[in-house]
Amino acid sequence: MNARAMLALAVSAVLLIVPWLLPSFYVGIFAYAGIYALAAVGLVLLLQAGQISLGQGAFMGLGAYGSALVARAYGVDTMVTLIGSVCATALIAALIGFITLRLRGHYLPLATLAYGIALAGVFTAWHEVTGGASGLDKIPPLRLFGFELLDDRLYTQLIWTITLLTVLGLSRLRTSRTGRAIATLEAHDGLARAFGVDTTVLRVKVFVFSAVLAALGGALYVHLLRFVSPSPFALLTSFKLLIMAVVGGPMSAAGGVVGALAMEGAQWTLQDVLARWGLSGNLEVIVFGLILVVVLLKWPQGLWPAVERWLPKPSLRSREGDSLPRSTLSANRDEVLLRLDDIGIRFGGLQALKGVNMELRRGEFVGLIGPNGAGKTTLFSIISGLLRQTTGRVTLFGRPLTADHTLIRQGMARTFQHVQLMPDLSLIENVALGAYCRTRAGFIRGLLALDGEENRQALASARAALERVGLAAEADLAAGSLPLGKQRIVEIARALVADPQILLLDEPAAGLRFSEKLTLVRILRQLQAEHVTILLVEHDMELVMGCVERLVVLDRGRIIAAGSPQDVQADPAVIAAYLGGGRDKAA
């Protein structure tokens, strides 16, 4: 066991003993802090996936009312109602998520605000059932396997046990197949899809899980308080949870706990101190607001990253042993893998591509070049399934091109013009995303750490790929700390883990030094020797001319030349396209 795990264990032990040391008034506060932490941790996961929610309080309310009302009215065992209520909330969240997660920009947070307020409004308005604004008392206590949990200290321990186990599970998830995919959701939707992640489904899963944590928190809350009313689940709570998540630091599940403890701690300490100084309670919220502003001005990333810098590093998951099996590619150089027939595309009035015909045969190394604005990027986007052509047909392995997130399973991987790595994750984690399409473990297995063998294989493959490209020594460094040249090489390693037959490279040499370019060229040559088919879009002509077999030159949306590097270099049309025609009156 490493130092980080021992520290985590020690802190957990303290958190679980604390209820027995506190005066009884503070036990309740500490219990609520644990509940908020649980819901905030759910919000942290949501933020990591790029979603801002102002409806988390409402999901707490659904969990709370569901369990409380059924238990109170029908005398059903509270353990059953608690689980049932959480499951029901999950279903509702799945429905809401399915409807709203397609929203973009400000529309998504606005929608969460809308259903947040609407659901909270129902708790108040439907008073025949919910007791309205004044609420309902005599909510039965929680029974666990027939044992009534009446002791607040024991209950508090239960809450914190659940919260801490959730944090543990989420930190496992982060280093699992699904976790790596979730990390891409916020900023890199295109990347996730290029590596086979169905981002729509994954977003809904994350949303549902986050709602489940909130609902569980809400249900635990009512059976502790034994009273249910709408105000704890109103919009203010949603804001409070969001504050906890952001102040604690949305980069890590622990941030939710830190945020909840910091915010609740600050609030109660302030109240205490101000009362002791004989100051009015009005000051509390003023000072609290100021603290919030100052903390975020000082630590925009949240408190947890500021704390974590001083902690020992977490232990690494095993990457020893066998990699995922690599397929041997056939050497039949006549087989056409990718075929473009008469491709054309219009953007509004602009004909960006017209009549483009092209073939990619097995084992070929083809360069796609052209001056600025020639349409290279557009063509690349069509081939990788991000754009749909207006006219013509793309055929991959003899079949029409399908949705972008399915291409990698068919054997076509890509790199990106603007490097798309998760800067905070290590190289090996970044590269292991390439194995997403070749492994299966889902959300739950990741959470419960039941993905051991498969995850080990994926990481072993990632390590092998890093070795192949000469970056094994840097495997555990954060990707963002590497120079751009190496980051581009990491992208290639990630594509290799997917075991592709076709590799699409979008300006892999941009921003590289000569020595780094040399490494790049050597890797590409080696891949070619293994019969991987390569399509290279690149501006560095010396590099292109020096390594490809065949060139296709685009200018103003049309193919103006094709052939060997020597032929293309001598082609007057190409020279004119690149150096420009000059001026009529010139010289």
Partner 1 sequence: MTDTVLFLLVDGLTNGLVYALLALSLVLVFTVTRVVNIAQGEYVMLGALTLADLLQGRMPGTLYLLIGGLVLCAVLDAGRWRRDWRRASLYTGGLIVAGVAALAVTRGALALQLPVIGMMAVALLLVAPLGALIYRFTVHPIPNASTIVFVIISVGVSMSVQGLGLLIWGANPYPVDPIAAGGVMMGPVFIPYQSFAILITALLAMGGLYLFSEFTLIGKALQASAMNRLGAQFCGIPVNLTGALAFLLAAAFSAVSGMLLAPLITANYEMGFMVGLKGFVGGAMGGLIDYPLSLLGVMIVGGLESTSAYVASAYRDVLVFSLLIPILLWRNTRARAEAR
Partner 2 sequence: MTKLLEIANLTVGYGEAIAIDDISFSVARGEFVTFIGPNGAGKTTLLNSLMGVLQQTSGTVTFGGEDLKALKPEARVARGIVIVPERRELFPGLSVEDHLRLGAFLRRHEGRAKMAAALERIYALLPKLKERRKQLAGTLSGGEQQMVAVGRALMAEPQLLMLDEPSTGLAPRITEEIFEAIDRLKATGMTGIIVEQNAHLALSVADRGFVLEVGNVVASGGAESLRQDPRVLAAYLGAGDRYREAMTGTETIPRAEEEG
Residues near partner 1 (CB under 8 A) are: 47, 52, 99-100, 102-107, 110-111, 113-115, 117-118, 121-122, 124-125, 127, 235, 239, 242-243, 246-247, 250, 280, 282-293, 296-297, 300
What residue 349 binds from partner 1, partner 2, none (CB within 5 to 8 A, per partner kind)? none
Sign of CA dihedral 183, 189, 190, 196: positive
Q: Cα torsion for 74, 79, 82, 83, to the nearest 10°? A: -120
- Judged by beta carbon, residue 136 or residue 577, the one nearer partner 2 is 577
How many whole angstroms separate alpha carbon 121 and alpha carbon 511? 55
How would you classify residue 544: left for phi > 0, otherwise alpha for psi between -120 and 50, otherwise beta? alpha
- Judged by beta carbon, residue 230 or residue 232, the one nearer partner 1 is 230
A 10 A CB-CB count for 111 gives 19
What residue 350 binds from partner 2, partner 1, none (CB within 5 to 8 A, per partner kind)? none
What residue 523 binds from partner 1, partner 2, none (CB within 5 to 8 A, per partner kind)? partner 2
Shortest gap between Cβ of 240 and partner 2 (angstroms)? Answer: 36
Shortest gap between Cβ of 175 and partner 1 (angstroms)? Answer: 24
A 10 A CB-CB count for 311 gives 13
Shortest gap between Cβ of 530 and partner 2 (angstroms)? Answer: 8
What residue 541 binds from partner 1, partner 2, none (CB within 5 to 8 A, per partner kind)? partner 2
574 to each of 30, 370, 425, 556, how far by Cα in Å? 72, 8, 42, 12
Shortest gap between Cβ of 522 and partner 2 (angstroms)? Answer: 5
Shortest gap between Cβ of 271 and partner 2 (angstroms)? Answer: 44
Site of interaction with partner 2 (CB under 8 A): 371-373, 468-471, 473, 480, 482-486, 489, 507, 510-511, 513-519, 521-523, 525-526, 529, 539-547, 565, 569, 574-575, 578-584, 586-587
Shortest gap between Cβ of 538 and partner 2 (angstroms)? Answer: 9
What the block records as the tokens of 555 is 């200018």
- Judged by beta carbon, residue 290 or residue 331, the one nearer partner 2 is 331
Helix (H, G, I), strand (E, B) or coil at 113: helix
- Judged by beta carbon, residue 78 or residue 199, the one nearer partner 1 is 199
- Judged by beta carbon, residue 64 or residue 374, the one nearer partner 2 is 374
What residue 247 binds from partner 2, partner 1, none (CB within 5 to 8 A, per partner kind)? partner 1
- Judged by beta carbon, residue 75 or residue 480, the one nearer partner 2 is 480
β-strand partners of 365: 534
Burial 375-402 (b: 16+ CB within 10 A, else e): bbbbbbbbbbbebebeebebebeeeebe
How many whole angstroms separate alpha carbon 287 and alpha carbon 266? 10
Strands 558-563 and 399-400: unpaired
What the block records as the tokens of 189 is 């939707």
Q: Which helix (H) or strand (E) holds 535?
A: strand 533-537
What the block records as the tokens of 76 is 């059903």
Angle formed by the axes of helices 78-100 and 107-125, nearest 10°: 140
Shortest gap between Cβ of 476 and partner 1 (angstroms)? Answer: 27
What residue 539 binds from partner 2, partner 1, none (CB within 5 to 8 A, per partner kind)? partner 2
What one-letter code names the amino acid at 30? F
DSSP for 119-179 reads HHHHHHH-HHHH-GGG-B--PPPPEETTEE---HHHHHHHHHHHHHHHHHHHHHHHTSHHH
Tokens 């802090």 sit at which residue? 33
- Judged by beta carbon, residue 96 or residue 181, the one nearer partner 1 is 96
- Judged by beta carbon, residue 248 or residue 411, the one nearer partner 1 is 248
- Judged by beta carbon, residue 248 or residue 565, the one nearer partner 1 is 248
What residue 296 binds from partner 1, partner 2, none (CB within 5 to 8 A, per partner kind)? partner 1
Shortest gap between Cβ of 581 and partner 2 (angstroms)? Answer: 7
Shortest gap between Cβ of 85 and partner 1 (angstroms)? Answer: 21
What residue 330 binds from partner 1, partner 2, none (CB within 5 to 8 A, per partner kind)? none
What residue 16 binds from partner 2, partner 1, none (CB within 5 to 8 A, per partner kind)? none
- Judged by beta carbon, residue 214 or residue 544, the one nearer partner 2 is 544
Shortest gap between Cβ of 543 and partner 2 (angstroms)? Answer: 6
- Judged by beta carbon, residue 400 or residue 581, the one nearer partner 2 is 581
What residue 293 binds from partner 1, partner 2, none (CB within 5 to 8 A, per partner kind)? partner 1
Shortest gap between Cβ of 100 and partner 1 (angstroms)? Answer: 7
How many whole angstroms separate alpha carbon 231 and alpha carbon 240? 13
Burial 26-65 (b: 16+ CB within 10 A, else e): ebbebbbbbbbbbbbbbbbbbbbbbbbbbbbbbbbbbbbb
What residue 144 binds from partner 2, partner 1, none (CB within 5 to 8 A, per partner kind)? none
